[in-house]
Amino acid sequence: MLELKAIDVTYPGPPPFTAVRHVDLTVASGTTVGLVGESGSGKSTIARAAIGLTPVTSGTVTLDGKDVTNPRGRTLRELRRTAQLVFQDPYASLNPRMEIAMAVQEAVSVASGERIGSAHCVRRATELLDRTGVPRAAMIRYPHQLSGGQLQRVSIARALATEATMLILDEVTASLDVSVQARILNLLRELQRDLDISMLYISHDLSVVRYLTDHLYVMRHGEIVEEGSSDVVFGSPQHEYTRTLLAAVPTMGGNRWRSRREHASVPPLSEEAERAAPVTPPADSVEAPTPVPRGTR
Ligand SMILES: Nc1ncnc2c1ncn2[C@@H]1O[C@H](COP(=O)(O)OP(=O)(O)OP(=O)(O)O)[C@@H](O)[C@H]1O
Q: Ligand 1 atom closest to Cα of 45?
A: 18
Enumerate residues 6+ apart whose C-beta is below 8 A from 139.
99, 100, 101, 126, 129
- Atom 26 (ligand 1): residue with closest C-alpha? 39
- CB distance 168 to 51 below 8 Å: yes
Kindly report, residue by residue over 245-266, the tens digit of the pLDDT: 888 776 544 444 455 544 444 3
Q: Best of 45, 170, 202 to mutate for ligand 1, by most ligand atoms within 8 A of CB?
A: 45
Q: Ligand 1 atom closest to Cα of 204?
A: 25
- Atom 2 (ligand 1): residue with closest C-alpha? 11
Q: Ligand 1 atom closest to Cα of 42?
A: 18
Kindly report, residue by residue over 172-208, the tens digit of the pLDDT: 888 888 888 888 999 999 998 898 899 999 998 888 8
Domain assignment of residue 191, yes or no: yes
Domain assignment of residue 91, yes or no: yes
Ligand 1 centre distance from Cα of residue 263 (Å)? 33
In whole angstroms, give the CA distance from residue 196 to residue 130.
18
DSSP state of 57: S
**Which CATH number covers residue 143?**
3.40.50.300
Ligand 1 centre distance from Cα of residue 20 (Å)? 9
Domain assignment of residue 84, yes or no: yes
| Secondary structure of residue 124 in the 3-state scheme | helix
pLDDT recorded at residue 219 = 95
pLDDT recorded at residue 174 = 84
Ligand 1 centre distance from Cα of residue 33 (Å)? 20
Ligand 1 centre distance from Cα of residue 106 (Å)? 30
Q: How many domains does the chain have?
A: 1
Q: Best of 10, 17, 18, 175 to mutate for ligand 1, by most ligand atoms within 8 A of CB?
A: 17
Other C-beta atoms within 10 Å of 21: how many? 17
- Atom 17 (ligand 1): residue with closest C-alpha? 44
Residue 260 has, within 13 A of its CA and on its CB side, a CA count of 25
- Atom 31 (ligand 1): residue with closest C-alpha? 40
Ligand 1, CB cutoff 6 Å, lining residues: 11, 17, 19, 37, 39-45, 204
Q: Ligand 1 atom closest to Cα of 46?
A: 18
What is the dihedral angle through the alpha carbons of 16, 20, 23, 26, rounded to the nearest 10 degrees? -130
- Atom 4 (ligand 1): residue with closest C-alpha? 11
Domain assignment of residue 291, yes or no: no
Q: Ligand 1 atom closest to Cα of 222?
A: 14
Q: Ligand 1 atom closest to Cα of 171?
A: 25
Residue 39 falls in which region: left (phi positive, over 0), alpha (psi -120 to 50) or beta:
beta
* ipTM, interface predicted TM-score of the complex: 0.97
Beta bridge partners of 2: 27, 63
Domain assignment of residue 21, yes or no: yes
Pick out the chain residues at pLDDT < 50: 252-257, 261-297
DSSP state of 118: S
| Whether residue 282 has a cis bond before it, omega within 30° of 0 | no
Domain assignment of residue 143, yes or no: yes
pLDDT recorded at residue 163 = 87
Ligand 1 centre distance from Cα of residue 171 (Å)? 14
Domain assignment of residue 297, yes or no: no
pLDDT recorded at residue 274 = 36
* Single-letter amino acid, residue 224: I
In whole angstroms, give the CA distance from residue 138 to residue 233.
40
Domain that holds residue 247: 2-285
- Atom 29 (ligand 1): residue with closest C-alpha? 40
In whole angstroms, give the CA distance from residue 130 to residue 136.
8
In whole angstroms, give the CA distance from residue 42 to residue 21.
9
Domain assignment of residue 224, yes or no: yes
Ligand 1 centre distance from Cα of residue 5 (Å)? 20
